[in-house]
Amino acid sequence: MRIRWYGQSAFLLSGTERVFIDPFGDLGESARARGMEFGYPPIDAQADVLLVTHEHADHNAVDAVTGEPAVFRATPGRFASPIGEIVGVASEHDDLAGTARGANTIFRFTLDGLRFCHLGDFGQAALRPEQRAAIGAVDVLFVPAGGGPTIGGEPAAAVVRAIGPRVVVPMHYRTERVNFLDPPDAFLAAIGLPVAKAGSSEVEVDAETEGVVLLATP
């Protein structure tokens, strides 16, 4: 299974089918006027399934992904798809019951025998028991690590410990291309797991892969 990071929370998983999660677009003039920098290269990808965790411009640019994918857009529930069942778990983008930044959908699914979970812009202080139960067992977890509008540092590490994946892929943190999030350092210090720094923005994972995989900035 090949995982490619495009930046922010955007990933392409390539196995027997291709799954793209949270494609980003241009944040717009209002963001730039506030001094926000977002310099990841434009997305050029094809997919069979496309998941959008919430309706913000750095997560919902569905037109950036080609290939006529089946699109599941920021909706909790259980859905049939080309890769089998996809489960969307309702959550919030903040720790104020969604009143500050709105809703967020956690997606879990299985691809080529690996169980994936993408937390989107999860901003709650912690997982609720019913959310943890709905997520189930996870092999590979994508977790926001940059604080600010999402979890980061110890709260993010606590969510990882609650889910218990074999592989952790941090996302949504400050890089040389983004200036409005925190770096992943506090999360990496809190997580207490081996960290493997990939030499590129792509990595192969399988049933033997373990620990934290820190992908290189695209």
Whichever domain contains 195, its CATH number is 3.60.15.10
Strand-by-strand arrangement of the 86-92 sheet: 77-79, 86-92, 103-111, 114-118, 140-144, 167-171, 211-214, 195-197
Q: What integer pLDDT is reported at residue 190 of this predicted model?
A: 97
Residue-wise pLDDT tens digits, 130-148: 999 999 999 999 999 999 9
Domain residues for 20?
2-214
- Calpha distance 209→3 (Å, rounded): 12
Q: What integer pLDDT is reported at residue 52 of this predicted model?
A: 98
Task: Give the burial string for 72-86 (b: 16+ CB within 10 Å, else e).
Answer: bebebeebebebeeb
Please name every residue paired with 142 in a beta bridge, in sequence order, or none if there are none.
118, 169
Q: What integer pLDDT is reported at residue 191 of this predicted model?
A: 96
**Tally of structural domains, the chain:** 1
Q: How many CA atoms lie within 13 A of 98 on its CB side?
A: 8
- Calpha distance 62→96 (Å, rounded): 28
**Low-confidence spans in the chain with pLDDT less than 50:** none
